[in-house]
Structure 1
């Protein structure tokens, strides 16, 4: 799960960078390549994140609804923080019951 958490955080940071750095640079500094490069990188990272959600879902036995929530949080700004919190809470509960 630590790999999934890392992928989630990296993908989330790429989305934040795209929305709050690259897009303003394109709009206010006429730097169109910023969105091109950051958007391309974010797209690849999102595909990796989507595949990782499927793997994590199967490994953890998540319901389809929980899997969809985790997947959708990948397109919500700062949604990766909720996913990270949710996973840490799940792992903490498992340690307490072990």
Structure 2
């Protein structure tokens, strides 16, 4: 059983998922409209790079916890899928990671 405390590695992973999801929503809701409607690509580049790093950390963290806890492959695949769907990490946190 993984401890859901915010100070454990699993707690950090759950928070990383929330932060990654927020960064994705910022890209979709703020920086993409700025890029295409206001011809201001700068924020999209910066937030896009930050989001890319968070995305990679989230995917690597999912692999780490799937391996460590002997989670089934379907759970790992759902966590990865959640990272590419808007609001997906929030749903994954509630449905897959909360035990």
Whether these two folds match at TM > 0.5 is yes
TM-score grouping bracket, smaller chain normalisation: 0.7 to 0.9
Which structure carries more relative contact order (alpha carbon 8 Å, separation 6+)? 1
Residue-by-residue CA offset, 1:27-71 (whole Å, 9 max, x unaligned): 121111111111111111111111100111123221111100111
TM-score (norm 2): 0.84
Residue-by-residue CA offset, 1:2-42 (whole Å, 9 max, x unaligned): 11101100111111111111000111211111111111111
Query: How does 1:25-44 map onto structure 2 within 5 Å?
Result: 25-44=34-53
Greater Cα radius of gyration, structure 1 or 2: 1
* Residue 53 (structure 1) aligned with residue 71 (structure 2): no
* Residue 63 (structure 1) aligned with residue 72 (structure 2): yes
| 3-state SS of paired residue (2:65) | helix
CA RMSD in angstroms, aligned pairs only: 1.0
Greater per-residue helix proportion:
1
Q: Aligned residue pairs: how many?
A: 89
Q: Name structure 1 gaps, 5 residues minimum.
A: 91-98
Q: Name structure 2 gaps, 5 residues minimum.
A: 1-9
TM-score (norm 1): 0.85
